[in-house]
Every structure is written in C-alpha cells, then in structure tokens.
Structure 1
Amino acid sequence: MGTWGAAQQHGKASAPVTHRAGGGGRTWRALSLLGALPAVALCMANVMLQQRHHRPARPTFVPYHHLRIRTKPFPWGDGTHTLFHNPRTNALPSGYEQ
C-alpha cells in the first residue's frame, strides 16, 4: 500500500461529523440555573443574617492632623461631605455626624 492508500484510509476516519452532541450545554445550563444560583442565594442570606448579629462597634474619633484635610471645598453639596458620604461611617474633620 502506497501513500495514496494510507491517505484514503485516514480520509475515511476523518469524515465530517453530521450530528452534534448538544446535550452537554443544556445540562450545564440546567445545573447552573437550578443548582448554583439557589446555592449562591442561600449563602447570601446566611451571610446577611449572620452580619446583622455581629455588627462591629464604630471606632472612636481621633482628630489626627494628617487626615481629612480640606484645602478647598468639594464642588457638590455644602463642600464638606465627600461624594459618597455616609454619616455613620465617614467622619468629617470635626468628627462623626451620628
């Protein structure tokens, strides 16, 4: 058998596939939607319930001279609050608001 015969035999083995195995994608999609998403929701609910009971105390305000320096006012609001200011967690130069 020459090279041509070997090429013909390989050509038969590598013929194009006419059918596809489409069940794998559907299986992983179903596992993701029916398994992973509820598991993430349960973990999120667990963390939120645990966090409600273990809220850490806010540290006392210490007016360090190198923190909260305002050389010019912010261009929004009254000029002393940052853009995403939270009165419970972010201190002003004079201390916490709440």
Structure 2
Amino acid sequence: MAAIGRLSQKLLKSAALTQSRQLSAAAAHGEQAAKTWKILTFVVALPGVAVCMLNMYLRSQHHHEQPEFVPYSHLRIRSKRFPWGDGTKSLFHNPHVNALPDGYEHHD
C-alpha cells in the first residue's frame, strides 16, 4: 500500500511540473504576442491612420464644381412625400451634392 502511495505522489508531482511548464510556455507565448502587436501598432496601424488623415486633408483642399443638373425622368422619383421636413428632401440630404427633382437648392 505504501508503494502505491509513493507512486501516486510521484505522478502528482510529475503532473504538477508538466502543468507549470505548460503555463510558463503559455505565458512566454503571451508576452511574445503582446510584443508583436505592440510593434504592429507602431509600424502599421499608426502610420496607416496618419496616411488616411493626410489623404482626407488633401481631398478637402481640392474643390469640385457642382455638375450641371440634367432632369432625367428615371432619377429623383418621388411617388410619395418623405415624412420629415418639407417632404422633398431625403433623410441624409446634402444640398451641395444631392439635387431635388427640379434642380439644386442654391448656386454658388
């Protein structure tokens, strides 16, 4: 009976040692993954955001003229009024870009 007790203690110690090795390997992997993501953040993500900001700034500096209004019969069809405002403008209406059925709202 004592031999079985010693054998079970050895097995428990061996299992505990194996589990602690696995935990330390997982912790080392976690540290390496954190370093990798930190490097990717500074090398890829932040420069990517900066390039996108520069692109939008440069696009905002370049102004386009409003295209000539052509009253095509298949565009801007209003079969019933919108339930907000005066009923002719869509929910996300932009007067500089979106024309009404009879033309743009104002000319610069």
Using structure 1 for the length normalisation, give the TM-score: 0.71
Q: Distance in 2 between matches of 1:25 and 1:35?
A: 15
Q: Find the counterpart in structure 2 of residue 32 from structure 1.
A: 40
* Cα shift at 1:48: 1.8
Counterpart among 69, 74, 85 of residue 82 in structure 2: 74
Q: Distance in 1 between matches of 2:58 and 2:87?
A: 37
Partner amino acid for 1:79? G
Counterpart among 73, 85, 94 of residue 86 in structure 1: 94
5+ residue gaps, structure 2:
1-17
Q: Distance in 2 between matches of 1:67 and 1:49?
A: 32
Indicate yes or no: 2:55 matched with 1:47. Answer: yes
* Cα shift at 1:95: 0.6
Q: Distance in 2 between matches of 1:94 and 1:35?
A: 51
5+ residue gaps, structure 1:
1-14
Counterpart among 63, 72, 75 of residue 64 in structure 1: 72
Partner amino acid for 1:96? Y
Counterpart among 23, 30, 36 of residue 31 in structure 2: 23
The structure having more radius of gyration, on CA atoms, is: 2
Q: Cα deviations across residues 44-87 of structure 1 (Å, max 9, x unaligned)?
A: 22202321233332210011122111111011111100011000
**Structure 1 segments (4+ residues) deviating >3 Å:** none
Secondary structure of the structure 2 residue equivalent to 1:49: helix
Q: Distance in 2 between matches of 1:25 and 1:92?
A: 54
Which structure is higher in helix share? 2
Partner amino acid for 1:92? L
